[in-house]
Structure 1
Amino acid sequence: MIILLMVVMLTCFGVVMVYSASSIMAAKKFNDGFYFLKRQGIYALLGFGVMAIAMQVDYHVWRRVAVPVLLACLALLILVFIPGIGGTAKGASRWIRLPGFNFQPSEMAKVALIIYMAYSLDKKQEKLKEFMSGFLPYMVILAVLLAILLKQHDMGAALTMGAVALAMLFAAGTRPRYILGMGVLAAPFACYLVVTEAYRMRRITAFLDPWSDPTNSGFQIIQSWLAFGTGGIFGQGLGEGKQKLFYLPEAHTDFILSVVGEELGFIGVMVIAAMFLLLIQRSIRVAVGAEDNFGRFLAFGIAVLLGLEAFINMGVVTGMLPTKGLALPFISYGGSSLIISLFAVGMLLNVSSRMRGTP
């Protein structure tokens, strides 16, 4: 099964790269160079367990619980604002504190929205070309979720969730003019969000000209470019990168692909990109060949989510997109992202198991 093979390979590679990118920093901060490796290894094992369970659960079960799951995730998103429960880092409130682990509800909310939309799009298929009863209700639900995410200063999750929802609506047959109209209406609001928050404006400035502020807002992307440039075609060798030595911020999380580029070179980065492309292509095949509309929409939503997160992250670390704060699926350090992504793949594989042939 190519989907399963790609995901297992990417996840195992991610554990190795997390160690390579974090060992020096972990040794200094925690007096244990294996700190992040051990945690990511545990997250990977938990994620594989969750994926194995999801593979065995008939995906139609998720149709029956779509609404409660979405409401539960909405409640979790609100819980992060409650003192003593929610955790804050770098001015963003995105986490729920658990013993030994911080859970990020927005990761689960992305998948919950996909499950709900797959259920609802299947149920309302004949109404999707209508604006008031077909398109508008989804925009209301999406607006509520995005408002909470923006309050958490999680623009990356908000943009990803919005894009996935619109892609699913388009695939289900919603009139394109509704989607285009929503994009036109959203553009001024997006500009307002940027100009009214200093940190967002700094990100745009750094994207347009990082050298205008090379020691502050432009520092991260400049260091990322240096990592890719130093790596060249074949890289410096696994573990031999220098930018992770306190030069490149977030080297083991959002910018881990920069470490891949420095240590394994252009070839290493292209192999990772090709693996994601193959994963997405096979996921789309699952969507096309699913036995019912719910399975089609569910598989398509998961494919779009994983593809968007992967290639937006690649765009950010190469300077082609402004910084978003999105992890590279299966590879970046982080329990919430890894476990939820593997859970989504488990559902995808269950859909594929009911196809003729194996993707």
Structure 2
Amino acid sequence: MAKYSILLFMLAVLSLIALGITMLASTTFEVAQEGSEDYVTLWRQLGWLAVASLACVIMAVVDYNVLLRWRWHILIVASVLLALCYVPMIGVKINGSRRWIGLQALGVGGFRVQPSEFAKIALIIALAGWYGTHQTLTRTFLRGFLLPGFMLLGVVALIGCEFDLGSALLASAVGLGVMFVAGSKMRYLAIIVLLCGGGLVAGIKFLPNRFERIMVTFDLEKHREDLGLQQWVSKLAFGSGGLEGRGLGEGRMKLSYLPEAHTDFIFPMVGEELGLRGTAAVVLAFAVLVMAGMVVSAYAPNRFGKLLGAGLTFLLGMEALLNMGVTTALLPNKGLPLPFVSYGGSSLVAAMVAVGILINIHRQGVHLTWDQLPVIRRKRRWTPQL
């Protein structure tokens, strides 16, 4: 079963990457026609894809248990990179968020990296390593909740201070997911939910623009010319595509009507050009990716591998779910990309690093039948032995 799971997993990943390159070529076609950029966005993404593929191969070959030994170093480096976003001449502020670091001081102003993409993976590695080495203390207050909770809140706070509430929310959800499957008590997890929720409310209070974005979701038509423009045009794109779609390259909303059509809002372009069938295929691909990833994680040879694989799978699935929720106007605009599909080097490299680690876990996986995988029952709660 694990063999077929990794094949399905890779099929889903490769299909999404192929779709992303195709849609990126389509959404940048008109710009290239005008001669202003000449497909530079597409070529950049292909360059990032080469880097991401190399990172994937490295992570697939190098024993993932090395990450267990270096987990604290990885988390510290990720935290330092997050802090560099506040340093003048290094941190880059775009659209009100200071979530990138660049090399302006060295005269390379066009090169930017988004540390939060890698910080989420570092957090998963740290939490998986913690619970993997403290298996018998998972349900205690100090080692099962308080110390890993501080790790989670520390990373979330650093991301949130960059005014990147979407990534902070995603990191919170993924961290809680790892703690849940590790077996941490539900009442302890509820405390973290309250703390993260309080931080989110505080962020909304001190950033009026974020509150307005939330309210816009409830009345898009009223705000269709200001804060609700992206989501309003996004809905029009889905409606315009119908069941069959207008045809590849024939979309109209990308013609300066929908901002960021090639990045966070590429999913509506899939809907307009490929129709409901295209969007359903994307949803199916992510569903297959998540289910296959969880099966691969269940067959990991040790607890660290199980938790690491589950966390990375949850990260990819949750990010896709949030992006789809935003682009269909079910959630406030958060600025999260669609993994493997949206334009963005940091997002693509981070996603392929996660893929490489999952391939590595599969390569070292144990071969048991599904009914041999252990399950722990604690009162009314069933928790996989991860």
Scaled by the length of structure 1, the TM-score of the pair is 0.96
Which amino acid in 1 is paired with 2:85? Answer: V
Query: How far did residue 32 of structure 1 move?
Result: 2.4
What's the counterpart of residue 62 of structure 1?
Answer: 67
How far, CA to CA, are the matches of 1:281 and 1:117 in structure 2? 21
How far, CA to CA, are the matches of 2:199 and 2:94 in structure 1? 26
Which amino acid in 1 is paired with 2:102? Answer: R
Query: How far did residue 64 of structure 1 move?
Result: 0.9
Deviation string 1:106-131 (CA, Å, 9 cap, x unpaired) is: 11101111111111111112222122
What's the counterpart of residue 54 of structure 2?
Answer: 49
How far, CA to CA, are the matches of 2:48 and 2:167 in structure 1? 21
Task: Describe how 1:8-27 pairs up with structure 2 within 5 A.
Answer: 8-25=14-31
What's the counterpart of residue 337 of structure 2?
Answer: 327
How far, CA to CA, are the matches of 2:80 and 2:222 in structure 1? 42
How far, CA to CA, are the matches of 1:347 and 1:189 in structure 2? 31
**C-alpha contact (below 8 Å) 1:223/1:248 kept by paired residues:** yes
Task: Describe how 1:54-133 pairs up with structure 2 within 5 A.
Answer: 54-98=59-103, 99=108, 100-133=110-143
More displaced stretch, 31-40 vs 96-105: 96-105
Task: Describe how 1:302-313 pairs up with structure 2 within 5 A.
Answer: 302-313=312-323
Match of 2:308 among 278, 287, 298: 298
What's the counterpart of residue 31 of structure 1?
Answer: 36
Tell me, what secondary structure is at the counterpart of 1:93?
A: strand
Q: Could you list the runs of 5+ residues in structure 1 that have no partner in the other structure? A: none
Which amino acid in 2 is paired with 1:187? Answer: G
What's the counterpart of residue 187 of structure 2?
Answer: 177
**C-alpha contact (below 8 Å) 2:166/2:336 kept by paired residues:** yes
Extract structure 1 runs of 4+ deviating beyond 4 A.
Answer: none
Deviation string 1:124-158 (CA, Å, 9 cap, x unpaired) is: 12222122332011221222212221111111110
How far, CA to CA, are the matches of 2:32 and 2:208 in structure 1? 31
Deviation string 1:38-68 (CA, Å, 9 cap, x unpaired) is: 0111111111111111111111111111110
Task: Describe how 1:132-171 pairs up with structure 2 within 5 A.
Answer: 132-171=142-181
More displaced stretch, 66-75 vs 31-40: 31-40
What's the counterpart of residue 196 of structure 1?
Answer: 206
Which amino acid in 2 is paired with 1:169? Answer: M
What's the counterpart of residue 241 of structure 1?
Answer: 251
Which amino acid in 2 is paired with 1:202? Answer: E
Task: Summarize the Cα distance change of 1:357–1:249 in structure 2 as closer, same or farther, 3 Å threshold.
Answer: farther
Query: How far did residue 312 of structure 1 move?
Result: 0.8
How far, CA to CA, are the matches of 2:37 and 2:200 in structure 1? 42
Query: How far did residue 357 of structure 1 move?
Result: 6.1
Tell me, what secondary structure is at the counterpart of 1:101?
A: strand
How far, CA to CA, are the matches of 1:326 and 1:26 in structure 2? 25
Q: Could you list the runs of 5+ residues in structure 2 that have no partner in the other structure? A: 1-6, 369-386
Tell me, what secondary structure is at the counterpart of 2:257?
A: coil
How far, CA to CA, are the matches of 1:17 and 1:114 in structure 2? 30
Tell me, what secondary structure is at the counterpart of 2:102?
A: strand
How far, CA to CA, are the matches of 1:186 and 1:331 in structure 2? 29
What's the counterpart of residue 281 of structure 1?
Answer: 291
How far, CA to CA, are the matches of 1:191 and 1:342 in structure 2? 33
Q: Percent of pairs identical after alignment?
A: 38
**C-alpha contact (below 8 Å) 1:231/1:265 kept by paired residues:** yes
Which amino acid in 2 is paired with 1:89? Answer: I
**C-alpha contact (below 8 Å) 2:64/2:361 kept by paired residues:** yes
**C-alpha contact (below 8 Å) 1:25/1:246 kept by paired residues:** no
Q: How many residues align?
A: 358
Tell me, what secondary structure is at the counterpart of 2:332?
A: coil
What's the counterpart of residue 270 of structure 1?
Answer: 280
The structure carrying a bigger helix percent of its residues is 1
**C-alpha contact (below 8 Å) 2:165/2:334 kept by paired residues:** yes
More displaced stretch, 61-70 vs 144-153: 144-153
Which amino acid in 2 is paired with 1:309? Answer: E
Query: How far did residue 356 of structure 1 move?
Result: 4.6
How far, CA to CA, are the matches of 1:76 and 1:216 in structure 2? 33
Query: How far did residue 26 of structure 1 move?
Result: 5.5
How far, CA to CA, are the matches of 1:81 and 1:265 in structure 2? 42
Tell me, what secondary structure is at the counterpart of 1:87?
A: strand
Query: How far did residue 185 of structure 1 move?
Result: 4.2
Tell me, what secondary structure is at the counterpart of 1:243?
A: coil
How far, CA to CA, are the matches of 2:365 and 2:134 in structure 1? 24
Q: Indicate the RMSD between aligned Cα atoms, in angstroms.
A: 1.7
**C-alpha contact (below 8 Å) 1:206/1:218 kept by paired residues:** yes
Tell me, what secondary structure is at the counterpart of 1:210?
A: coil
Which amino acid in 1 is paired with 2:338? Answer: L
How far, CA to CA, are the matches of 2:142 and 2:72 in structure 1? 20
